[in-house]
Structure 1
Amino acid sequence: MTHSGPGGGRRVVLVGPAHPYKGGGARHTTELAHRLAAAGHDVVIESWRAQYPAFLYPGRQTIDTPEGAPYPRTRRRLAWYRPDGWWRTGRELRRAADLLVLTVLSPVQVPPYLGLLAGAGRGVRTVALCHNVLPHERRAADVALVRRLLRRVDAVLTHAPGQADLARGLLAGRDADVRTAELPPHLPRTPAPAAGAAPEQRVRRHLLFFGLVRPYKGVDVLLRALAAGPPDVTLTVAGEFWGGPEALRGLAEKLGIADRVELRDGYVPAAGIADLMADADALVLPYRSATASQNVWLAHEHGLPVIATRTGTLPDHVRDGVDGLLCAPDDVADLARALAAFYAPGAALRLRAGVRPVDPEPYWRGYLAELLR
């Protein structure tokens, strides 16, 4: 039976991270709740008191200052170490919701989600909202865990066609409802520029990598390309380094570019993003693989062109030769070529002039329609 919220909309429970958890997953869950509520639905976020064991997420998990407006109807009852709470919460949701959306960021979440689903029974329609169907760097049990979850829900929402294909592969032999909707903009709220301020029109010969530093992000490829590219260009790598920065620091020293590379280890809060962007000519995203990323749009919001690899949705957001440059993934020579092309006379300023901020509204309209279909 389908029930209605107070405004005639649906009663929706989003299970996922929200403040004080940080990063794109928490921002997306919160923005989705605000958008659904604004569309007339009765929305609650069922968030986490403790989302992951520390040894599985070595970085900082929470922050003190929200990166956007918190959603007021947020509960924080789930904990990875309390299986009794998973089932009990699911039992409550059986009566409180007609749509249960499970935000899938890691296979570590699957056991709690299966506990929730066991408590909720079959009376609630369920959607697995997969930021990544499987991790970029997989553990032995990941495939089995995610397959079990996807076979238990009513529908799967992915953010890229390749991810939808991956989900269908895990559901082989079943008539699966697998959908794709591009991940909409949910950028960190950063201070607005001063009235009348305009980007300074000069080339600094300085590049930026920004975000969580993991092997699939290809920062080692970027360091090698930097060594092979224009000899006076510098680079800042800013973000949490999983496993520490020592390996990349050693590579920079081996390549003879340690004096040109700053490794800034630690989570960058929203208030610090503008200064990082202001010091750079371009954001570089040298990913070996990707699904969806907000970082192209984030750079464009700050007036920066982007040098990115052709993987995931990155080439959909970068207009090659207009507001950035594209190159092959995991290819040092092609990335070095792109860096040299970016610093050809007049190119950097021409690409900066082509940058336009994203309009989030069309993305969100399509996203909500696909989620609620």
Structure 2
Amino acid sequence: MAAYNLFKEYERLGLDTVFLARTDQPSHGGSAFSTINSDKEILFHTHMSDFFLFQSGCKKHVWQEFHALLQRYKPTVIHFHHYIHMGLELIREVRNTLPDARIVVTLHEYLAICANNGQMVKPGKQMKLCYKSSPTDCARCFPERSAADFFLREKYIKSIFNLVDIFVSPSHFLVERYKAWGIPEEKMVMIENGQPEIETPAPRPLAEGEGRGRFAFFGQINPFKGVDVLLEAFKLLPEDIQKKVHLDIHGANLEGQTEAFQEKIHGLLEDLGDLVTLHGSYESHEIGRLMEQADWVIIPSVWWENSPMVIQEAFNHGRPLIGSDIGGMVEKITNGVNGYNFRSGSSNALKQAILKAYKEESNWDLVAKEILSPLTIGACADKHLGIYSF
């Protein structure tokens, strides 16, 4: 969404821009590319075969089809918002084909640093946070691979990253992580993801005697997002409070998780009954309507979130947040100012934050009035245009 929003803004400004997005759907006639909406929105029908080194599963797509696409459009700036599922080799192909083009890469997580899905969380049930990677430590997390494997992985990824002119991060936290990993400070810039300009909706209308007890979660349902921590926190609430609050979960992909995790979530949902409503997935255009039905938005992630889009979306709709005290979340949610923080992974700490948020209605008014409008898409585009220049 961050990438597509920028693309549409550049189109509005009259810039000659092409948007390329990977898809896992088969193409007609076996072509690597197809178009949607217009010839400026292109789908790349490709895949990766090596998620350890992020290498393309079809080399021909890189050195032939993607190469031909570059030669056709001859862009002066190529901005990668990701390389997952497409391959790091695309960056090298850009440099080989268009040596004078400016290459920009937005880093949305820690994939280059961490082989555990870029989460910087130790594998295992306890999901301990990782503070710094090293070949030796990474080999302990993945004993099937040697420290030498991780040493060579880092060297390979950095050889590709050396071809990049500038890296963008939506949080200062991620900037510091990648600087510590070895990216030069002068190559890093922080630009927050932009949001559409809207009229901030009014607070949710309350029935007589009702408090601001409508809480909501938005995002993927997986172990890293802390939905189990969230449900356990609501289970710990006193019975009299449980009768006055409600949790709406707007999220998808639970069915794609491990059987053990699915059983845990379904068990908690069964225990909580009518206290929680699981709504399933939602489209980006629905976010405004869903936010208007909430008083508080909760982000219980147990990994170092960089800059969850839901933070900016909540602020854009005037909804205060309750979030874990790590990563980019604590950078953007100031405790007692525009929301509340709680100790990451602690259902009891989250329970206390929920009680604090709900018990005094003045708390909502105080934090809601301190919410600042997030960076607009227009302002975000302007900042990017500044780094696109040579």
Same fold (TM over 0.5): yes
2:193–2:375 Cα contact (<8 Å) kept: no
Aligned pair count? 321
Following the alignment from structure 1 to structure 2, what is the Cα–Cα distance between the partners of residues 49 and 220? 30
Q: Pick the aligned partner of 1:218 from 226, 230, 248.
A: 226
Residues 160-181 of structure 1 show CA distances to partners (whole Å, capped at 9, x for unaligned) of: 2332333345447xx6752122
Identical-residue share of aligned pairs (%):
19
1:305–1:351 Cα contact (<8 Å) kept: no
User: Which amino acid in structure 1 is aligned with residue 228 of structure 2?
Assistant: D
Task: Give the corresponding residue for 2:80.
Answer: 102
Structure 1's unaligned 5+ residue stretches are 1-26, 53-65
Task: Give the corresponding residue for 2:237.
Answer: 229
Task: Give the corresponding residue for 1:14.
Answer: none
Deviation at 1:282, TM superposition (A): 0.9
Following the alignment from structure 2 to structure 1, what is the Cα–Cα distance between the partners of residues 318 and 63? 47
Query: CA separation of 1:169/1:87 partners in 2, compared to 1, >3 Å: closer, same or farther?
Result: farther
Following the alignment from structure 2 to structure 1, what is the Cα–Cα distance between the partners of residues 103 and 294? 43
Residues 87-124 of structure 1 show CA distances to partners (whole Å, capped at 9, x for unaligned) of: 23224425712222222263x33345257337525343
Q: Secondary structure at the match of 1:203?
A: coil
Deviation at 1:247, TM superposition (A): 2.8
Following the alignment from structure 2 to structure 1, what is the Cα–Cα distance between the partners of residues 102 and 342? 42
Task: Give the corresponding residue for 1:366.
Answer: 383
Query: CA separation of 1:327/1:357 partners in 2, compared to 1, >3 Å: closer, same or farther?
Result: same
2:146 matched to 1:161? no
Following the alignment from structure 1 to structure 2, what is the Cα–Cα distance between the partners of residues 272 and 38? 23
2:22–2:86 Cα contact (<8 Å) kept: no
Deviation at 1:352, TM superposition (A): 6.7
Task: Give the corresponding residue for 1:327.
Answer: 342
Query: CA separation of 1:28/1:359 partners in 2, compared to 1, >3 Å: closer, same or farther?
Result: closer
Alignment of 1:28-39 (within 5 A): 28-37=2-11
Structure 2's unaligned 5+ residue stretches are 27-35, 48-56, 112-117, 124-141, 143-148
Query: CA separation of 1:327/1:43 partners in 2, compared to 1, >3 Å: closer, same or farther?
Result: same
Residues 301-339 of structure 1 show CA distances to partners (whole Å, capped at 9, x for unaligned) of: 333221112233333433433432222222223222111
2:211 matched to 1:203? yes
Q: Pick the aligned partner of 1:238 from 236, 243, 250.
A: 250
What TM-score do the two structures reach when normalised by structure 1? 0.71
2:293 matched to 1:279? yes
Q: Which moved more, 1:337-346 or 1:228-237?
A: 228-237
Q: Which moved more, 1:202-211 or 1:334-343?
A: 202-211
Query: CA separation of 1:320/1:171 partners in 2, compared to 1, >3 Å: closer, same or farther?
Result: closer
2:332 matched to 1:317? yes
2:110–2:119 Cα contact (<8 Å) kept: no
Following the alignment from structure 1 to structure 2, what is the Cα–Cα distance between the partners of residues 363 and 193? 19
Q: Pick the aligned partner of 1:125 from 71, 78, 102.
A: 102
Residues 336-362 of structure 1 show CA distances to partners (whole Å, capped at 9, x for unaligned) of: 211110111324542475245435154
Task: Give the corresponding residue for 1:84.
Answer: 60
What TM-score do the two structures reach when normalised by structure 2? 0.68
User: Which amino acid in structure 2 is aligned with residue 42 of structure 1?
Assistant: D
1:104–1:133 Cα contact (<8 Å) kept: no
Query: CA separation of 1:332/1:110 partners in 2, compared to 1, >3 Å: closer, same or farther?
Result: same
Q: Secondary structure at the match of 2:106?
A: strand
